[in-house]
Amino acid sequence: MASEHQGERIAKVIARAGLASRREAEHWIEAGRVSVNGAVISSPALNVTAADRISIDGTPLRARERTRLFLYNKPRRLMTTHSDPEGRPTIFGALPKHLPRLISVGRLDYNTEGLLLLTNDGALARVLELPKTAWERRYRVRALGRITQDALDKLRGGVTVDGVHYGPVEATLDRQQGANAWLTFTIKEGKNREVRNVLLHLGLQVNRLIRVGFGPFELGALDDGAVEEVPTATVIEKLGAEIVKESGADFAGPVLDHAPPPRVSRRAQARAGERGRSQKASDREPARPAPHAAKDDRQKRPTPKKHRRDRTGGPRPSRPKPSNKPLPDDTAEIKPSPNKPKDRR
């Protein structure tokens, strides 16, 4: 087992394996579900290395998957969380089931749409969220009200709203469309409801907010609700060597199969159960000979053919066989049958 200053925290290793978040992994450890080198541990204050054997509920921890990054076009009315106390739908419930367990890089509000970065590496997500990373967040905004470019230019030095200070903002008035103004809004901090609060301070009420860019990544033509993986080479190039080193991202690991098992209908399950029961019965009981089989293997006698009977109970008369005799000539005299009685009129 690693010493106190070697390796990585056990909860971090479990999280990087894609099984749970760090907090969930810590709960598993406290519940006695995690063992290291055959011994159950009770505290997450433990560092481990690749030489240690980690098991969850007796099952060995699978290999660490390579760091992966996804672009997701978040629709409106979805929460950026794994569970919502109010029961509202979440992005993780809407994602395809074949994806690994993912973590969002930052959050988007319930009614905010657009680009959201997702990754299976919690350490990378935390580095990208740090203020010192200073990645720009770019938005397209539709807001109710009128504004001038001069008023927007004053945001470049930052603004304080209700005791909260927001850093420099680059805002451009694209057009005034009826009662609404369309803006391009660029910020670096990404504080909670920053765009809405700053524009409300200027007398504008945001009614549509779309994030179109985050750092070097763009929403592009990604469809609403669609998710797309960024190729590994592109991720390394756009993250840069400093972020890769600080996050400890691993781009050499394998890509694991996360496809769910195929669904089996109840009818197929019932048939499989019947086959299993019949197979077990055949294993228990030897095959019995057919009841009509003779003990001395003599040839079975043919069953006599049964004659059909008519309604009276007697044998049914057979049909007359066709005759090859020529038909009588119509002009020939027809003589009465000797058995037919004569007409007495």
* Catalytic residue positions, numbered: 109
> What tokens were used for 172?
């451009």
**Are the C-beta atoms of 212 and 165 separated by less than 8 Å?**
no
Task: Give 274: exposed, middle or buried? Use CB within 10 Å, 0-12, 13-18, 19+.
Answer: exposed
2 Cβ contact partners less than 8 Å away, ≥ 6 residues apart: 47, 48, 49, 51, 52
CA–centroid distance for 317 within its chain: 75
193 to 304, 305, 317: CA distances (angstroms): 95, 94, 100
Q: Label each residue of 115-180 as H, E or C.
A: EEEEECCHHHHHHHHCHHHCCCEEEEEEEECCCCHHHHHHHHHCEEECCEEECCCEEEEEEEECCE
**Positions of E strands within the chain:** 8-9, 34-36, 39-40, 47-48, 54-56, 59-60, 69-74, 103-104, 113-119, 137-144, 159-161, 164-166, 170-177, 180-187, 205-214, 217-218, 227-229
Residue owning tokens 């549509």: 208
